[in-house]
Structure 1
Amino acid sequence: MVKTTQRLTSPLLFIVLAISYIIALAFFSRAQSFLVPADSVIGCTSTFLRANNQCGLDGQDCIPANRTQTIDFRCPAQCANVILQNPRAVGNEKVAFKPLIVGGGDSEGTYRGDSFVCAAAQQAGVISGSKGGCARLQLVSDFFDFIPITANGLTSIGFPTQFPLAYRLSSQTSLIHCADNRNAALAMNVLVTSLLFLVLRPKAIVLYWSLICIGFWHVSLFSQPFSNPPQIDEIFGRFLPALFVAYAFWRSAVRFTMPKVTMNAPIESCVLYLSGFWIGVLNNLTFDKLPLSRLTASDINKRAGGVATLVVLIVVVTACAINQVLVIRKIGWLPYYLKWYSVGGLVLLVLSLLPGLSLRLHHYIIPIILLPGTAFPTRLSAIYQGLLVGLFLNGVAAFGFDPIVQSAAALRQDSTLGSPIPAFFTNTTTWNDSTPLLNQSLSWGPLPNDPESPWSSFSLLVDDIERYSGTAMNFSLGALNATIPHFFRLAFKSDSQTGDFTNAATLWPNGTWVDPLPGASY
């Protein structure tokens, strides 16, 4: 193969093909993201209402003025993979580790207004999971009794009461150029990188920088863009510092491995490097599927299988590290690596002890730590380098250079704060089910009797919408519909934030009151 393709290794041919690739990539990216009006493009978590009281009293900060309008929209592919990372309260139930979809099971396919639009559209069958697509949304005002359904691989949750905003979905739309072409882009880029190894075979440094650029821009434009449509200025803002880190990778490790591994072995080197490289670049489809989203103490026990996954990862990484240590020891560089990795370990130890901050090893940081240990011309080093470079490119292109230490608030995502929660005075003992709902009221305990407490008022959610905010300790239930169930959650509130909400207390249409379970909700 080397002899038959020798004439194709000309540097001039490489330059011509590189220019052609850049032009083709520009047209491909335009077709992917910039032919549909930007205000019609939404993301996988796009919704009309945010959680809890983030939309203000009665949801007025989020609910459109026209609650019956139709909206055409375009969704990206693979939105079923975008899930809630923590339990989200829906009435008296909680949903976690799947897209937030409420309703859709009635004859007209009506979804609650805070459901993820794209996931709901995929469940309704109006867009494709693998190619995304365009659809039309019809808003509905004050719908009640959202029925759960399982369809197209997605399961929604029910909500048996009223919500101020809902929507129905239709495949009829005026938008065109709707298909998400990320799979075609992946096929093209895998083919191009394979041709680089097998046919064009440029010098190792040129091959390396080609992989860096192709991987970074594939993530930024196709597989995991930071925004929809991609913001080119933001991408370049990440690209330049990523190149500096990539240069450090070349100087510290890759230049000792890639030239020798690729010499006279194009097929083998292609398999060794690209297998790991594309697994890393497509981290959102590979490692993100594991039930361990972050290497933090709070996340390890969050999902079933998290501890087992961590143990397996530790065993695999330890086995790989032992193999590399044996290689390093054999060539006499072990003291040098022990010295510098010890220094690095001490730096991480100091960072982990900073008050008020937690050490956060983002997946772009792990390659920075491990790649110097692969600076040896072995097959395993080539696999490790491909994987680690791919992980780095995915991390910085999709999420940027997030800090290595973060506050608890930054790590919280959509989970509870751990703040105090108020107590309902209304309970199964004090509730009188013989009194008409028109004459009933809900009451709760006072604010904390602590001069240093930040809490100055209350926020009451009725059926997952804030219906009261203030300092009173009661709320009249006379305006509620007595023929449907109602769910109540209460939280302390300050001038700058809202504390954790209680779990839901439930009032059923037959007059039965059910106390909230212990603990907090989000």
Structure 2
Amino acid sequence: MSTPVKPVHDLPLEQPPLERDNSYISAQDSSDKSLFAPTAVAPLEFTDNPEHKPRPWWARRAQQYGDRFPRVRRVVRYIRGPQQPVYMSAPVSFLERIPPRIPVESFLRRWTQPLTNPFIVSLFAAGYIIGLAFLTRQSWFLTPADALIGCTATYWPDEGTCGLGGSACMPSSNTPFDFRCAAQCATVILSDARPVGTEEVAFVPFVVGGGDRQEGSSGTYRGDSFLCQAAIHAGLISESRGGCATANLIGEFTDFVGSVSNGIESTGFPSVFPLSLRLTKSNAYRYCADMLREAIIFNVLASVLLFLVLRPRPLVLFWSLVCLGYWHISLFADPRSIPPDLEGAFGDFLPLLFVSYAIWRVSFRYCLPFFSEIPIERAIWFLPAYWVGLSWKITFERLPVDRLLGSDIKERTGALATVIVLSIVIFACVVNQLRVMRKTGWLVWYVWRYAIAGLVVLVLAMLPGLVFRLHHYITALLLLPLTAFPTRLSLLYQGLCLGMFMDGIAKFKFDSILQSPDVVSITRPILIPQANEDVDPTRCTSWEQLTCLPHKFDNLRFFYTWVNQTLFWDGFPDTDEGWNGFSLVIDDVQQYVGDALNFSLAALEPTITHFFRIAFQKDGATGDSTKAATLFSNGTWVDAAPGPA
């Protein structure tokens, strides 16, 4: 009786990537080049051995259908690929394969071999940590913490937070405020619309006024402008280096002039606002420049040295990239707060390491070690993509679909075209990886697992009351298993995805894939330290109005009578939603809260234009308001446009 012929390496018929043999991980240090050879597999020959188990019913049924439809069988066999998984060989250097075959890779390996000693790598790591500490200290901790403000810092978050007449946001004194801004504040935009008179300002920097610039000082800005963006608009600080400035409060001001300056377009407002400010250059602090540029140079050089000169083992190299990327984002590129939140960064670092180990297991260990013999190509394919992913704030956040929300795609200019282009690029990359999977026999193994994941995502997206948010760190986690093949494009994809993952966790922590609508806004105004702190945090603020109360505008109308200078509006709609009050906003400042149906305008200045918005209230919580109606100085009344503000 003949015995079955076993495969050469005795591999199982179905071996998932998580259980692959790890013996080739240390191929960098092995002289046995046969480790990189594709696995030779002899066909299995089954006999009439009584111990041989019969095929399952579904296999027999598939055989029957295959006999009836031979063309379908051929298509299925083509898609399935080889029954035995085929392991790809290590890539050969382009420079040494294409004439004139310059041996640059072997030359680099030979001359830098003494520097790959683990002791030297350890000294480099210690020196890097010390240098990073000094760079962080000079960047953030030589300036008083109360002078460091974020890109969205403002005296006046919005009318709902500031109370009647803005009393909760009026500073207690007019003392000048010296502040320091970080770099790249001009790229921060309003993710949700904010009304300024009759305009709806969205997806742009929020600066109101500043066009009346005078010699020796900036123009006059409305008190709710973002301070750092106003300072950039005034030319007092740099977008690339940040800087210091002084805010001088001047109280009530009328007619804020809009203009375009230093890449920022400010919005005009032809009415009165109770808080305004002018900006001047500050000499109060010595260290005003943001160290982001120096940090990028420092970390890029460190990553290049790791890839080309020190060349540690692949696993050590992977952990070095994880740590370098995470702390670069947390301390310099895009920290969660200003100054950086070290407590939060260290709190998320340990969970990040556990997830990174899973990334190594399912993806990196099947690709990165194969490029150990060609360090130059490994650096060329991996590092640029890695730094593009780490620089998410500079690269992808400037695209008009940075939040991947349907509302953004509809409202933002160029969003649909961007989605189409990105979809084509991603589709081409996925098709290429599917081709590699089919060629190596892993396509079916991946397809049914990702099909299950797709069904889970579909169910989550249909849950009511929540917004499905595919964060870029989740996108990276979903794509990384598809790159577990030793190809150059897989190495490029791994660099991009690892950078995206590091940026997402360092900036937003492990944010949920399902979020309430009030959390989706990413540009919430931050009250600066000089403002009054008696603000009720439980109020239904402008960025939370998506879920505060139902929106009803059909039955809420208001009109003006010139005879007695009184504004009237309709009563509550005939519903069971429990409305019990109104909130009246005049010139973007809340001026009345109550259940009356009229409001006297006798105290308003009759020679300027005024804007009016009104909203329902329920137990003090304010819903969305109407759009603004306008009362011109000549007595002309223009009704509000339909829909919410």
TM-score with structure 2 setting the length: 0.77
Match of 2:256 in 1: 146
Match of 2:379 in 1: 270
Match of 1:461 in 2: 585
Match of 1:425 in 2: 558
- In structure 2, relative to structure 1, the CA distance for the partners of 1:129 and 1:408 (3 Å cut) is closer
**C-alpha deviation, 1:498, in angstroms:** 1.3
Q: What is the total number of aligned residue pairs between the two structures?
A: 510
Which range moves more in the overlay, 84-93 or 402-411?
402-411
- Unaligned 5+ runs, structure 2: 1-107, 523-542
Between the aligned residues of both structures, percent identity stands at: 50
SS in 2 for 1:60: helix
SS in 2 for 1:89: strand
Equivalences for residues 341-490 of structure 1 within 5 A: 341-411=450-520, 414=543, 417=546, 419-421=551-553, 423-426=556-559, 431-432=561-562, 435=563, 439-451=564-576, 453-490=577-614
Please tell me the residue identity of whatever aligns with 1:73. F
| Cα distance in 1 between the residues matched to 2:557 and 2:449 | 57
Please tell me the residue identity of whatever aligns with 1:351. L
- Cα pair 2:210 2:266 within 8 Å, conserved: yes
Please tell me the residue identity of whatever aligns with 1:510. N
- In structure 2, relative to structure 1, the CA distance for the partners of 1:149 and 1:409 (3 Å cut) is closer
| Cα distance in 1 between the residues matched to 2:459 and 2:210 | 51
Equivalences for residues 80-229 of structure 1 within 5 A: 80-108=186-214, 109-229=219-339
- Cα pair 2:191 2:521 within 8 Å, conserved: no
SS in 1 for 2:426: helix
| Cα distance in 1 between the residues matched to 2:499 and 2:184 | 20
SS in 1 for 2:274: strand
Match of 2:148 in 1: 41
- Unaligned 5+ runs, structure 1: none
- In structure 2, relative to structure 1, the CA distance for the partners of 1:98 and 1:145 (3 Å cut) is same
Match of 1:26 in 2: 133
Q: 1:338 aligns with which of 412, 426, 447?
A: 447
Equivalences for residues 323-334 of structure 1 within 5 A: 323-334=432-443
**C-alpha deviation, 1:412, in angstroms:** 5.8
Deviations 1:350-392 (A, max 9, x none): 2223333332211110111110110000000000000001001
SS in 1 for 2:135: helix
**C-alpha deviation, 1:416, in angstroms:** 5.8
**C-alpha deviation, 1:149, in angstroms:** 1.6
- In structure 2, relative to structure 1, the CA distance for the partners of 1:72 and 1:248 (3 Å cut) is same
| Cα distance in 1 between the residues matched to 2:369 and 2:198 | 61
- Cα pair 1:86 1:415 within 8 Å, conserved: no
| Cα distance in 1 between the residues matched to 2:409 and 2:635 | 42
**C-alpha deviation, 1:152, in angstroms:** 1.1
**C-alpha deviation, 1:226, in angstroms:** 0.1
Which range moves more in the overlay, 493-502 or 136-145?
493-502
- Cα pair 1:161 1:485 within 8 Å, conserved: yes
Match of 1:259 in 2: 369
- Cα pair 1:87 1:415 within 8 Å, conserved: no
Match of 1:54 in 2: 161
- In structure 2, relative to structure 1, the CA distance for the partners of 1:105 and 1:284 (3 Å cut) is same
Match of 1:233 in 2: 343
- Cα pair 1:295 1:360 within 8 Å, conserved: yes
Please tell me the residue identity of whatever aligns with 1:14. V
Match of 1:247 in 2: 357
Please tell me the residue identity of whatever aligns with 2:574. N
- In structure 2, relative to structure 1, the CA distance for the partners of 1:51 and 1:339 (3 Å cut) is same
SS in 2 for 1:289: coil
| Cα distance in 1 between the residues matched to 2:460 and 2:642 | 36
1:311 and 2:423 are equivalent in the alignment: no
SS in 2 for 1:228: coil
| Cα distance in 1 between the residues matched to 2:200 and 2:441 | 56
SS in 1 for 2:277: strand
Match of 1:321 in 2: 430
Match of 1:73 in 2: 179
